[in-house]
Amino acid sequence: MIFYDVDYTLSGSPSRDMLYFHCIWNRQNPTELGKDFEVLPKVSGKGRFLGMNVGVLANQAYRGSWWGEGEVKMYLDGDTEFPTLCGTGTEDYIGSAWGQGKYANQYQGSLISDAKKGEWAFYRYHVPDPVYFKTDCRVVLPQIGGDSKGKVIDMINAKIPMKPITVHKAPVLIKLLEMNPVPDLSDPTLPDGWVNFYRQDDVSATAYFYLDKPENNLPPLAPVSGRTANLDESKEKK
């Protein structure tokens, strides 16, 4: 049996400046080492970024290390090197932090948060905190994880693909990639602290936005084979 309910409002003709609703889905499995995952590729026009749903299947090669150190970046209206809006971590973006536990709120939450299986599904909607753009918008999620220095060195020695970025032991933060030459993480002069590093996981996202035109310049939806690739295999491994 099927039941449905349709609610609607009768009104006059829409105003000429009314925006069109758009969304785009993207998945990378795995993400590219050192390259930001595009939640919303650069879209041209005037509009409003509404938010996102994100899914992460953590790469088991990283031995349970944390994957969510990447800060959400929003490039607006001609931004190039630096974004107008930049967060402090994936889990911070949805208002959780410190491991991103399972919870649900009206505009943000993490409905799946399973560290044992390496599965996360979370969302953030910019309703009370609107993000407007006049000419263009691009939203990315850097693929950065973190763990203790000793564990990261062990993974490097095991040839697990990664690229260390920073070493942090309060109050010192060492930006490895800004040093010349870039030191080896096993350098004894580096403190034994928390290491952030580029990593590769299975990441997917749906971005929602308004635009002042019915069409957009974004790539077409990936075929079913690409959208569902390796999902059964990943479950079997877990």
User: Is 141:203 a contact under the CB 8 Å cutoff?
Assistant: yes
What domains are defined for the chain?
19-142+200-224 (2.60.120.1390), 144-198 (no CATH)
How many angstroms separate the Cα of 73 from the Cα of each of 78, 90, 172, 201? 14, 10, 24, 18
| HSE, side-chain direction, 13 A CA sphere, residue 5 | 1
Distance of CA 142 to the CA centre of its chain: 6
- Residue type (1 letter), 49: F
Q: From the CB of residue 63, how many other CB atoms can be counted at a distance below 10 Å?
A: 13
- Residue type (1 letter), 120: W
pLDDT at 226: 84
Q: Which of the 8 DSSP states describes residue 88? A: S
Q: What is the end-to-end Cα distance of the chain in Å, rounded? A: 35
Query: Which two three-digit tokens encode residue 36?
Result: 């930001």
Query: Which two three-digit tokens encode residue 86?
Result: 């930049």
pLDDT at 232: 67
pLDDT at 236: 45
- Quote the CA–CA distance of 21 and 12 in Å, as a whole number: 19
Q: What is the mean pLDDT of each run of 10 residues along the chain (238 residues)?
A: 91 87 96 98 97 97 96 97 96 90 96 96 97 98 97 98 97 96 95 97 98 93 87 54
Q: Which residue has the tokens 């290390």?
A: 65
Nearest to 120 by CA among 155, 165, 70: 70
DSSP 177-217: GGSSSPPPTT-TTS-SSEEEEE---EEEEEEEEEESSS---
Query: Which two three-digit tokens encode residue 88?
Result: 């402090």
Helix (H) / strand (E) containing 137: strand 136-141
pTM value?
Answer: 0.90
Q: Which residues, in sequence order, are CB contacts of 105 under 8 Å at separation 6+? A: 95
Query: Which two three-digit tokens encode residue 168?
Result: 């942090």
Residues, the chain, total? 238
Judging by DSSP bridges, how do beta strands 119-125 and 108-114 pair with one another?
antiparallel
pLDDT at 99: 79
At residue 56's C-alpha, the angle toward residues 52 and 62, to 5°, is: 145
pLDDT at 17: 85
